[in-house]
Amino acid sequence: MDKNLMVGFAVFALSVLAFSAVADAVIPDPLPDPDGQPADMSKPVQVYILMGQSNMLGYGTIAGTTDGTLEYAVNNKGKYPYVVDGAGNWTTRQDVRYARVQSSGTGVMSVKNNAWLTVGQGNTSSLIGVELGIGHYLGYATDAPVLLIKSCIGNRALGWDLLPPGSVQYDYNGYTYPGYGGSPERWPTGTTPTPIGWYAGMQYDGDVRNAKTVLQNLDTYYPGATEYEVAGFFWWQGDRDRYTDGHAIRYEQNLVQLIEQLRKEFNAPDAKFVCATLGQTDKDATPSNQTEINEADILDAMFAVSDPAKYPQFEGNVATVYSHPLSMGSDSASHYGGNAETYMNVGEGMGKAMVTLIIPEPTSLALMAAGLAGIWLKRRR
């Protein structure tokens, strides 16, 4: 065999092994049960902020003997074995805290959850969301303490309620849509708007304020912690925007602004960002009505932000999870029929995506393997 060909083959083979070793070491399938050990408290708490609307809140049904509940998926299908121990009890991660806070706009914040990550807790003890899959993968991948802060409420649009600061007014299809702080949601172009008791970005302001309140009281939400780093953001949203053409067509620009603004808000320029698409939207389907056209626009926007050819500043720090293959049916408006598997699958997908962003690049191992291959072949000549 030609020596150059031998070098090339060896480099390729060892590179593949290096990449595979990294993937298997960081994300085994399935995940093992949590070991019950606390995190390394000498390290700053790694904070991940979960935002969006009702499906980010979580509507997966826990209890029941019918297909679609978490109990059925675990007991009858053997899925998600890491959420249950050998005795059939729900496992608890002692290295991941889960806090959920909520307000309508800038109203009074209420605390819905504040506990170690497990199944069934807080005031939504009969339901789960994507936090389970996310938290278990992050907890496994790092020995640092992890704090998940879910700060959101249902029925909110990125183009209106969650519009981030810096967003500007624009016209579309005969209507004017406000920039951040403007009101109402839209008005006929050329007329004088009459403000209402809500403004563009009011929910964004409330959700950000609530997350910051948690961080200002860190020890309350992660006992014993004194330092933190905002390591990433998770975003699952889009249902409300799919009903308004002017919101859907602007989704990409608004999402870019959201990513950049959140990093400024939390002084976290290197924080990673993972978004998940609407589960019912198939990238290969042809839209048959305006709502489906709007869904396609939102899907394209989510894929666009993780495309380094279009947004090179997001290369290696923004990822998109395509949720259609992970959904077990129904749609975002119906909370996916309350199917727990949808929420677990999307949560796992988001958690895996974040892990691939925060772990060291496997490229360095591949290059090292390539170098070793070259050295080995030289010695064989």
Per-residue pLDDT tens digits for 91-142: 999 999 999 999 999 999 999 999 999 998 766 689 999 999 999 999 999 9
CB-based contact 80:29 (threshold 8 Å) = no
Which pLDDT value is given to residue 360? Answer: 63
In a domain, 236, yes or no: yes
In a domain, 23, yes or no: yes
Which pLDDT value is given to residue 13? Answer: 41
DSSP states of 151-183 as a string?
E--SS--TTTTTPPTT---EEETTEEE--TT--
Could you give the CA distance from residue 370 to residue 364 in angstroms, rounded to a whole number?
10
pLDDT tens digits in sequence order for the chain, 381 residues long: 444 434 443 433 443 344 334 444 468 888 999 999 999 999 999 999 999 999 999 999 999 999 999 999 999 999 999 999 999 999 999 999 999 999 999 999 999 999 999 998 766 689 999 999 999 999 999 999 999 999 999 999 999 999 999 999 999 999 999 999 999 999 999 999 999 999 999 999 999 999 999 999 999 999 999 999 999 999 999 999 999 999 999 999 999 999 999 999 999 999 999 999 999 999 999 999 999 999 999 999 999 999 999 999 999 999 999 999 999 999 999 999 999 999 999 999 999 999 999 996 554 444 344 343 333 333 333
CATH number reported for the structural domain that contains residue 249 in this entry: 3.40.50.1110
- Residue 287: Cβ-neighbour burial (10 angstroms; 0-12, 13-18, 19+): middle
Could you give the CA distance from residue 161 to residue 233 in angstroms, rounded to a whole number?
18
In a domain, 235, yes or no: yes
Residue 310 identity: K
In a domain, 55, yes or no: yes
In a domain, 184, yes or no: no
Which pLDDT value is given to residue 125? Answer: 83
Q: Which domain holds residue 131?
A: 3-165+201-380
Q: Is the model's pTM score more than 0.85?
A: yes
In a domain, 190, yes or no: no
Sequence-distant (≥ 6) Cβ neighbours of residue 194 within 8 angstroms? 184, 187
In a domain, 187, yes or no: no
The total domain count for the chain is 1
Which pLDDT value is given to residue 45? Answer: 98
In the three-class reduction of DSSP (H, G, I as helix; E, B as strand; rest coil), residue 276 is classed as strand
Could you give the CA distance from residue 315 to residue 55 in angstroms, rounded to a whole number?
27
Which pLDDT value is given to residue 215? Answer: 98
In a domain, 375, yes or no: yes
Q: Smallest Cα–Cα separation from 239: which of 154, 322, 307?
A: 154
